[in-house]
A and B are shown apart, each in its own frame.
Chain A
Amino acid sequence: MPVNLANNIAGLNLKNPILGASGTFGYGTLYERFYDISVIGGFVTKALSLKPRAGNPAPRICEAPGGMLNAIGLQNIGIDRFVNQKLPKIKDKDLVIIANFFGETVDEYVEVASRLNEVDGVHGLEMNISCPNRNNEGLVFGASCQITEDVVKACRKVTNKPLFVKLSPNVADIAKFAKVCEDSGADGLSVINTLSGMAIDIRSRKPILANVMGGLSGPAIKPVAVRMVWQCYRAVKIPIFGIGGISCVEDVVEFILAGASAVQIGSMNFVEPEICKTLAEELPDLLESLGVSDYRELIGALDV
């Protein structure tokens, strides 16, 4: 019995619900040394900004129990180099390419979004709203409902491509933010970004990360992510990409049951570079063993 893995999510035609997550999949080309990336549903680029960005000093990463902390500082090659140098190498491949983007002001977000809107080969956009706002004392955009509303509405006006918003988990009530994004015109949500964290070297009494604080990812955050996907799923009608510590095919199904229409794989790409391919290959067998012929039956099918 063939199992259906295909779905149209907010206008994106995915052959399967497995995507590489932003910040762990480079600009797509890197993983070609391990496998042909057209076997997965798609991937999300490293967060792009108007101009190239150098990022934070090292150390930028460290091990954490069941995961890792990172403080890369949004290093990226900038939208122009992405469009001119990286995208041509992968745009003819049969997979969905979503450009993750950010700005330091609302105007910058709008400019990047409108530029990406014109780019052939970028199928969808994902807004990273966990970036410090230069006009608001460096507080991240996604920490305030009002600013989230402003920036999502502003970007919505300049793009007709599917627009996803990647939510920060570092808020008291994520469902409220999900609703704000839906009401502001977002086509979908990506849930969740990394959890804010920190680690200390007790001998030197210094923070391990040069940036002091970083983002926690990996299996350690999976229960938090599953919970937040479920809360968002109950709050909105728009589709959700589930993200957070997925490391095996059972995790994929767990997120789908919680309400994810598809999932993004993050840090596990670093540990097992072929993980996205493996999950896409293993999912049909697991679904069959669960008596499911179309994965869409499981979206939000949590029995409470």
Chain B
Amino acid sequence: MDCIVRVNEELGGDFFYLGLEPLEPIADIRPGRFFMVRCSQSADPFLRRPMSVADYKKDGSGFGLVVQTVGWGTSLLSTLVPWDRIDVIGPFGTNFEVPDGARSLWAVAGGSGVAPFLGLIDHAEGDVDHTVFLGARTSELLIYADRLKERGACVITATEDGSSGEHGLVTEPLVKKLDSGEKPDVIFTCGPTPMMRAVARIAEAHGIKCSVSLENRMACGFGACVGCVTKKRGEENYITVCSRGPVFDSFEVEI
């Protein structure tokens, strides 16, 4: 599906935000699902890149992507300007599902892993309190803290160099808050794998349901290449992250 680029906004560090308008509304966009984005019409780069939906319009007439320039494909995307066209397919995969009756939701994000929580908080239904733990190496890589605060979330930041928020890893304020006796109904996490692994272990130790968003290398995004596999916990067989995930219950998979 072709989309028109409406916005390409620098976010600090290597991050930028693409605001896209599909030529026709796209159904079933949900936080945690992803699009496969074509970075070039040539064979270089060849494969599409998987990108998690950030914010989106409920009627599917617009959505955003938070992109980090890491290689050739994403650096091509960074040069897009309004009215350019971009080709995406999707959305694919599972989404972050807020459990029925949940009153308190914590999200732990690293880097561009904050993306799905923008849409999640924008479209939150019912009376749910949101706390977002945002971690980064340094302050300029902490993105969307203010925007999340504006939407009513409590935002706790941590940087590894101490340039903003708490000094250290994002899991430290998470543990501190749990130790103080607070306990959410569910924890969602998205970001680097070591961070998600740590968050999943902490959640498990406290008996809290936790959903993780895995980000394996994938070629297709819809289950055909069988490239993006992960192991189901306690099983020998592999499952595809793109079609069975990317959002899994932390108990379900080996992280």
Contacts from A to B (Cβ < 8 Å): 24-26, 30-31, 33, 46, 52, 54-55, 58-68, 70, 72, 75, 218-220, 247, 267, 269-271, 273
Contact = CB atoms under 8 A, between A and B. Distances in A.
B236 A61 contact: no
Interface of B is mostly: loop
A75 B226 contact: yes
Contact of B219 (A26, A52, A68, A220): A68
| Chain B interface size, under 10 / 10 to 19 / 20 to 34 / 35 or more | 20 to 34
Nearest to B228: A58
A71 to B, nearest CB: 9
Given A61-B218, A62-B217, A219 B225 contact: no
Interface stretch (B11-19, B41-49, B170-178): B41-49
Interface of A is mostly: loop
Nearest to A218: B46
A272 B46 CA distance: 11
Nearest to A29: B223
Given A58-B217, A60-B217, A66 B44 contact: yes
Nearest to B237: A54
B216 interface: yes
B129 to A, nearest CB: 36
B145 interface: no
A75 B219 contact: no
B53 to A, nearest CB: 19
Contacts, number: 90
A24 B71 CA distance: 25
Given A61-B228, A70-B219, 14 more contacts: A30-B224, A33-B222, A52-B237, A55-B226, A58-B227, A63-B47, A66-B43, A67-B43, A72-B225, A267-B46, A270-B225, A271-B47, A271-B220, A273-B89
B238 interface: yes
Contacts of B46: 63-64, 66-68, 218-220, 267, 271
B224 A25 contact: yes
B219 A270 contact: yes
B33 interface: no
B219 A267 contact: yes
A2 to B, nearest CB: 31
Contacts of B223: 26, 30
30 contacts: A24-B224, A25-B224, A26-B223, A30-B224, A33-B222, A52-B237, A55-B229, A58-B230, A60-B226, A61-B219, A61-B227, A63-B46, A63-B47, A66-B43, A66-B44, A68-B47, A68-B219, A70-B225, A72-B225, A75-B226, A220-B43, A267-B46, A270-B48, A270-B220, A270-B224, A270-B225, A273-B89, A273-B220, A273-B222, A273-B224
Most buried by B among A31, A33, A270: A270
Nearest to B45: A63
Nearest to B72: A63
A117 to B, nearest CB: 26
Nearest to B230: A58
B209 to A, nearest CB: 25
Interface in B33-89: 38, 43-48, 71, 73, 89
Given A33-B222, A59-B217, A273-B222, A70 B44 contact: no
Contacts of B238: 54-55, 58, 75
A64 B45 CA distance: 8
Contacts of A75: 226, 229, 238
Given A63-B45, A67-B43, A271-B46, A58 B216 contact: yes
B229 A26 contact: no
A58 B219 contact: no
A24 B43 contact: no
Interface string B189-225: 0000000000000000000000000001111101111
Contacts of B226: 46, 55, 60, 72, 75
Contacts of A59: 216-217, 227
A58 B222 contact: no
Nearest to B73: A63
Nearest first, the 7 A-B pairs at minimum CB distance are A61-B227, A270-B220, A219-B43, A270-B219, A66-B43, A60-B227, A59-B217
B229 A58 contact: yes
A271 B38 contact: yes
A46 B226 CA distance: 10
A80 to B, nearest CB: 15
B224 A60 contact: no
A247 B220 contact: no
B47 A72 contact: no
A62 B218 CA distance: 8
Contacts of B224: 24-26, 30-31, 269-270, 273
Contacts of A58: 216-217, 227-230, 238
A85 B184 CA distance: 42
Most buried by A among B73, B223, B224, B227: B227
B134 to A, nearest CB: 26
A59 B43 CA distance: 22
Contacts of A31: 224
